[in-house]
A and B are shown apart, each in its own frame.
Chain A
Amino acid sequence: MTGIPHDLRDTEVDRDTVERRLAETWRTRRGFWGAIATVDHKIIGRRYIVTAFVFLLLGGVLGLLMRWQLATPEGRALGPDLYNQVFTMHGANMMFLFAVPVMEAMAVYLVPLMVGTRNIAFPRLNAFSYWIYLAGGLLLWVAFALDMGPDIGWFGYVPLSGPQYAPGKRADIWAQMITFTEIAALAVAVEIVVTVFKQRAPGMTLDRIPLFVWAMLVTSFIVMLAMPAIMVGSTSLILDRLVGTHFFNPAEGGDVLLWQHLFWFFGHPEVYIIFLPATGMISSMLPAFVRRPVFGYLALVLSMVTIGILSFGLWVHHMFTTGLPRLGESFFTASSMAIAVPAGVQIFCWIATLWDGRPVFRTPFLFILAFFFTFVLGGMTGVMVASVPLDTQVHDTYFVVAHFHYVLIGGAVFPLLGAVYYWYPKIVGRMMSERLGRWVAGLIFVGFNLAFFPMHILGLQGMPRRVYTYQADLPWGPLNMFVSLSSLMLAAGFLLFFIDAVRSARSGPPAGDNPWDSPSLEWATTSPPPPYNFARIPVVTGPSPLWENRDELPVASGLRLDRREIVITSVADAVPEARESSPRDSLWPFWAALTTSVLLIGSIFSPWAVVWGSIPVAIALIGWFWPKGTPEDEA
């Protein structure tokens, strides 16, 4: 530090100067290249969230197309080939391009604010992550528009996805899209873990971390442990297809069930990668609407950690009909049922929070109530499918379709929509409409249950999943028509939600810093937050900082104004350890993402793309990491 002439600290000047100088230091340059180069977690987070919701909209349209086709027996809206592309796209899009990224996107925006720091850890990696995610999404959708959309199911079972039965490039596009989204997700996971461990505001000890942040921490570890399995799987599949390896070819000593193990070793934790952040959102939103801190903080944290660990012991329940040894299957029945216990702990703690609360029925709270109704029901059917014998009747039927939509829409999308209504004022600076919000919540809740509950019955009545049509003499017609009509109501709710979100950005009433009188740190700054998040880093003295310090938060000072600096604190007790510089804006992450995308997409067509494509990637990475003598290299 010594020897730098202009070491301007925030202790030396008044607040106005502090804010002016910080804004100067942290701002994103105007113009196109400034926008490309930014590493501000708020701008990237916003992009991430908007992109994910665009994919939700597109995926929803695919869902409606499927319902159009299935409304009547022998429907002729989509042919079998297009239907198979549509249902594959719907699943892959919703899981890989919407559900996981949107949760990470919310975390990219919120976690640094909630832990009281000025940017996410590894902000350039964060920018890289977004560009890679965008490229993966574009790859999938452009391919679909060119009639090259994958048609092998979102799970891509071999041999159907293998070289022999999936000619053309459709399966490769699916497998490579996975590579893109996995890279993006792994990058964000690493950033979140480091941000939470090392950048928490002074005083934010482990037992004062907001529960959404805890949820994201656990989720990030699940991502880091689960995603490598699918990357091994999809890479082996690409190798089987591209260069003729035989990982999954039984005729050459490969094994088709190996794919299912790899896929579900990732695929089941995936559900919790989506669900845990949603529970974190509930735990973090609930206090504002019941006017008291959440009950059972420690129990909630421990149950999230338990779910995270157990989630790796359940994958075989997706394979109960493959003829695995019975003793093994019984073990997985027990472990699948066991996860109901930590999930139950969370539900009971929230109910105990409600019990002495003074409920304020605003839109986010309505979504939380919709979550209770729907998710608990989905949990119950989850217990049913955990039973091996029972699962042999409902596996791969509409019962399972109903079950996982209850868990994923009820358990994750409802809290997410609530979270959008809740954090929108922080992100945009304006409130969403309370009047429209009630309609949105009502239409989505009623429409969802009308559309998906009958699917349980359809499944028990023998209707398998992933069929593009069914015959008129089967008894499924009336219920399918009912489901399809109800899906329009659900769609109307989502449409209204999008209208509200777009309209409120221009005309919503100004929000102020803390419109819900919430207790956590993200509400301690302006809405939307300035580029530097906090003029002075807050010091945390309890689990509900804004309720404990009604007048003014204690702050830490001593950071430099003339370069991007953040406070590094210790992992357990959040004791300040050091000032560290945070990277400036850079175009290199964009170039690195672009060259990586060219390599990955090129490799679908020729293995040589890996050889030649790695040269520009290497150039971009060298540029990215080249020592430039800039301040961040001196810390």
Chain B
Amino acid sequence: MRLRHLIVSVLLPLAAGGCAGSQSALDPQGPNAASLAWLIGAFTIVCGIVWLLVMIVVGVALLRRRGAAEPADTPLAEDPGRERRKGAVVLAAVLATVVIVTGLTVISYLATHSLTAASGEPLVVRLRGYQWWWEVTYTSPSPDRFVTSANEIRVPVGRPVRLELSAADVIHSFWVPSLAGKQDLIPGRDNQLTFTAERPGIYRAQCAEFCGVQHARMALVVVALPPDEFAAWLDGQLRDAATPANEEEAAGREVASGKACAACHTIRGTPAAGTLGPDLTHVASRQTIAAGTLPTTRGSLAAWIADPQGVKPGNKMPMVPLSADELRAVSAYMASLK
């Protein structure tokens, strides 16, 4: 345990965190990532020592015979006894390699085991990858308590979360380095990833498998909340979309249900019931829009709706022609969907 702390404290200065939430394998915030950080540290130290030893021996070998005899006299003169002794040294080095490599294999195997030993009833969340966003579905033993959201996973602190991973189009990979290693989302296959967040916080995750033109802008955040806050938030998510509080928002709802928006997006409680794009019922309660591309503000919502191809070129949301008033109204409405 002391060794573990030592290793983590050596690596920590490298783990600068950004304000978008931590996204670093060196800044573990849960038991899985912590044991992986430990493993990275252990491998780094062992391999670093081996590398250093090899370099020292190379250095000594170069320096010891500098200027000994002039070149080209008798390159074939060899002392058989000396060659045999060198052979023994080489053999010893090879055996040492075998031992080190075996040791590292065993540690690695044990680490794999510790990763899968999660305790407690997990929260099951379905995560489905799309070009270039994430659909998040919170499951429950009662089917009427399923909630669909996007580009953000909220989890209760201290409880294991099991992600059921699938892909709608091409291969993606879910990676939240501060909490766990990555796992691919593959069409035609079902994968799982279990992790636990130990502390409340925001942890950034990003697609790690090249998935097309906007692979770089396919991020999401994992928000870890205290269990009671999580329960309250989930109850909020179960409700239909907020009713417009003023005329502008009401006009925005008309735009969202009447224009092309409704063909792809769902806003529960309104006629909008498309399923090609992210569910927008509580879009304003999420940290970011367009899969981590912009922070959620009324301004960024307006910018995104006005010109999605300018913000995230190549993404699948077309520009829907709107008048200035319509744009203002629909962004006001979106910003109200807490």
Which A residues form the contact surface with B (CB < 8 A)?
79-81, 84, 151, 153, 157, 159-160, 164-165, 250-251, 255-257, 287, 291-293, 295-296, 299, 321-323, 326, 329-330, 333-334, 337-338, 340-341, 344-345, 347-349, 351-352, 354-360, 369, 372-373, 376-377, 380-381, 383-384, 386-397, 457, 460-462, 464-471, 473-475, 517, 519, 544, 547-548
- Complex interface: chain A residues within 8 A of B181 (CB): 321, 389, 391-393
- Complex interface: chain B residues within 8 A of A388 (CB): 108, 112
Given A81-B213, A296-B87, A372-B54, decide whether A333 and B108 contact each other with a Cβ distance below 8 A: yes
Contact with A along B68-80 (1 / 0, CB 8 A): 1101100110100
Q: Which of B11, B104, B115 counts the most chain A CB atoms within 10 A?
A: B104
Majority secondary structure of chain B interface residues (helix, strand, loop or mixed): mixed
- Is B93 touching A348 in the complex (CB atoms < 8 A)? yes
Q: For the complex, what is the distance from the CA of A356 to the CA of B188, rounded to whole Å?
A: 59
Q: For the complex, what is the distance from the CA of A568 to the CA of B244, rounded to whole Å?
A: 91
- Complex interface: chain A residues within 8 A of B76 (CB): 292-293, 544, 547-548
- Complex interface: chain A residues within 8 A of B78 (CB): 292-293
- Is A355 touching B61 in the complex (CB atoms < 8 A)? yes
Name the one of A392, A457, A547 contacting B36, with C-beta atoms under 8 angstroms: A392
Q: Identify the 8 closest CB pairs spanning chains A and B, nearest first.
A: A392-B181, A250-B188, A467-B216, A380-B47, A387-B108, A462-B23, A323-B191, A475-B16
Q: Does any Cβ of A come within 8 Å of B162's Cβ?
A: no
- Is B108 touching A389 in the complex (CB atoms < 8 A)? yes
- Is B188 touching A395 in the complex (CB atoms < 8 A)? no
- Is B18 touching A157 in the complex (CB atoms < 8 A)? no
Given A359-B62, A461-B15, decide whether A383 and B104 contact each other with a Cβ distance below 8 A: yes
- Complex interface: chain B residues within 8 A of A344 (CB): 93-94, 97
- Is B108 touching A345 in the complex (CB atoms < 8 A)? no
- Is A396 touching B189 in the complex (CB atoms < 8 A)? no
Number of interface residues of B (CB under 8 A): 94
Q: For the complex, what is the distance from the CA of A296 to the CA of B87, rounded to whole Å?
A: 8
Q: A80-B314, A471-B20 are in contact. List 10 more A-B contacts (CB 8 A).
A: A81-B213, A165-B170, A257-B186, A257-B189, A291-B75, A321-B181, A329-B112, A359-B65, A395-B208, A461-B24
Q: Does any Cβ of A come within 8 Å of B50's Cβ?
A: yes
Given A355-B61, A517-B72, decide whether A464 and B98 contact each other with a Cβ distance below 8 A: no
- Nearest neighbor of B96 in chain A, beta-carbon distance: A344
- Is A255 touching B62 in the complex (CB atoms < 8 A)? no
- Is B68 touching A392 in the complex (CB atoms < 8 A)? no
Q: Which of A293, A359, A464, A548 counts the most chain B CB atoms within 10 A?
A: A464
- Complex interface: chain B residues within 8 A of A462 (CB): 23-25, 175, 177-178, 204, 206
Within 8 A of A (CB), among B90-112: 90, 93-94, 97-98, 101-102, 104-105, 107-109, 111-112
Q: Does any Cβ of A come within 8 Å of B17's Cβ?
A: yes
- Is B108 touching A393 in the complex (CB atoms < 8 A)? no
Nearest-neighbour CB distance to chain B for A330, whole angstroms, equals 6
Name the one of A287, A338, A351 contacting B61, with C-beta atoms under 8 angstroms: A351
Name the one of B71, B211, B216 contacting A468, with C-beta atoms under 8 angstroms: B216
- Is A470 touching B187 in the complex (CB atoms < 8 A)? no
- Is A292 touching B75 in the complex (CB atoms < 8 A)? yes
Nearest-neighbour CB distance to chain A for B147, whole angstroms, equals 25
- Nearest neighbor of B98 in chain A, beta-carbon distance: A341
- Is A321 touching B173 in the complex (CB atoms < 8 A)? yes
- Is A340 touching B97 in the complex (CB atoms < 8 A)? yes
- Complex interface: chain B residues within 8 A of A473 (CB): 18-20
Given A291-B72, A323-B186, A390-B43, decide whether A460 and B24 contact each other with a Cβ distance below 8 A: yes
